[in-house]
A and B are shown apart, each in its own frame.
Chain A
């Protein structure tokens, strides 16, 4: 066989030491990150499995009381709290995020957009414990003025700050997908005598819908996984309720509480955090898979 040659006819120097070292280092980096993920899943599953030898899975998923001291391990109150807070967060973040995405993509002058977008993205990087303080110190007191008798810990304030946290995620990803809509499509609509409002809402948003929906789904997944803000703001009392004015404990808040040393290692309560952790992992994984599917299935390919 003749050695491979590059287009200019030189003999290709294949497998020089430097090339190999770089290749190995990069491959190692990729493999390590995969191994770590696999390791986390293995730990979650094995520890969770130990838990489920003591608590039947059926009881875990249908029990309406989470009271480890009395051996009551019904996960519904925790799951419900995570869902309630994520839904409140979505109610806050979807209008805010979509509104700002439409504004930035379709209305804002280019110079303003270049300033505002990074600022919004910084908000996404805000330490969530700071948002927890914000909920306790600012949001709840403000809400208490409107809603008398609102407790210090409540799902509403937690949902609102988580909503603020995920707003940039929605606005940034939605804006990206709206700007990916070809300008020719906007011009087509303008050329028919459409106003900017009609062009934005009837042409650009539908054309970018897959990206917008995916951004919302991802944001909800982020909201369900959010920990510190909800631990601080919603409290640590498991409470199966749809009333956002009550305090409730999310899956993540429970894990924080137990990890902070309330339970001894190896106890059933300690193992329970792996069970709920596994549940959280499965829920967010499922949501992320849905988001990816949405993007793949409904993505309109613009040439």
Chain B
């Protein structure tokens, strides 16, 4: 069903209209707005940094082999939510995550789940390209070795081809990754993630440090990758979300009684529905540019 964790939204008519428009409403078990079965099922997800709650009550499904975009104003917890999916928040001292995230049939937040293994199955691409200070080839091979994949030249080539970078680097695999342009570095980071053969690739504002042409290249790549992987993408670029995603989750910030600000999920729906008929007034305000 279309998630509604926002207790303040008391506009039942609007919700029912929205739910109707995202045709899968009611058949929560198998269907998501993008039509594919869910790979992640987040239930009442909350994140605390020390005594500050950064995100609360996020409940949504992420469809398999589709692109889900997390959008919303700064500080709404998009990145924080994304980082729960591969347990990156474990690395932040004082961070605490509550709720459940079903990944397949296991709760990936459970202490039984080894975050190191999990991150081999759920790759990540970061805001700023962060290649290692090694050669292009070594950058690709690093993740393979870590995950026990034999780093053959064929596999390296395939990963670079999949990231649409092969033709540009095939003659200079031994050069430092830093010698590449920003857009190339980011595609190298995507290749590095693909090489590990994950099921999901998380992207945290992958184009925010890139120029429009490099951004377009990455967006085309994302559409291609969605055929094989599940993508969850944080972006503050509304056009990007509209161009590439199948499902959109709109997050926003709510103040608490103590004056603390906390990120919440306002609504989630198909990209078409969110951009043409948002059910939450805050979503509409944001996507039409009145807020944020």
Contact = CB atoms under 8 A, between A and B. Distances in A.
A109 B132 contact: no
B130 A109 contact: no
A206 B130 contact: no
Interface residues of A, number: 21
B25 interface: no
Interface string A60-83: 000000000000000000000000
Contacts of A109: 93
B133 A300 contact: yes
A193 B146 contact: yes
Contact of A203 (B124, B132, B178): B132
Interface of B: 86, 88, 91, 93, 116-121, 123-124, 126, 128, 130-134, 142-143, 146-147, 178, 189, 192-193, 196
A206 B147 contact: no
B263 to A, nearest CB: 20
Nearest to B146: A194
A187 B88 contact: yes
Contacts of A184: 126, 128, 130
Nearest to A109: B93
Contacts of B118: 193
Interface in A151-193: 182, 184-193
Contacts of B132: 185, 188-189, 203, 206-207
B142 A202 contact: yes
Contacts of A185: 130, 132-133
B93 A192 contact: no
Given A193-B143, A193-B146, A193-B196, A188 B131 contact: yes
Given A185-B132, A300-B133, A190 B146 contact: no
A186 B143 CA distance: 13
Interface string A198-241: 10001100110000000000000000000000000000000000
B120 A192 contact: yes
Contacts of B121: 193
B178 A190 contact: no
10 contacts: A186-B91, A187-B88, A188-B124, A188-B126, A192-B120, A192-B143, A192-B196, A193-B121, A193-B147, A194-B142
A300 B126 contact: no
Interface string A245-280: 000000000000000000000000000000000000
A193 B119 contact: yes
B143 to A, nearest CB: 4
Given A187-B126, A191-B126, A110 B131 contact: no
A195 interface: yes
A191 B86 contact: yes
A272 B258 CA distance: 77
Contact of B142 (A182, A186, A189, A207): A189
A182 B91 CA distance: 15
Q: 7 shortest A-B CB distances, which residue pairs? A: A193-B120, A191-B124, A192-B143, A184-B130, A193-B119, A188-B130, A194-B146
B146 A192 contact: yes
Nearest to B125: A191
Contacts of B126: 184, 187-188, 191
A191 B132 CA distance: 13
B216 to A, nearest CB: 23
A189 B128 CA distance: 14
B130 A193 contact: no
Contacts of B131: 188
Contacts of B130: 182, 184-185, 187-188
B117 A193 contact: yes
Contacts of A194: 116, 119, 142-143, 146
Contact of B119 (A190, A207, A300): A190
A300 B93 contact: no
B163 to A, nearest CB: 14
Given A182-B130, A187-B91, A193-B196, 9 more contacts: A110-B93, A187-B88, A188-B131, A190-B88, A191-B88, A192-B123, A193-B118, A193-B119, A195-B146
A187 B204 CA distance: 12
A142 B142 CA distance: 45
B10 to A, nearest CB: 40
B116 A193 contact: yes
A112 to B, nearest CB: 12
A187 B192 CA distance: 13
Contacts of A300: 133, 178
Contacts of A195: 116, 146
Nearest to A302: B133
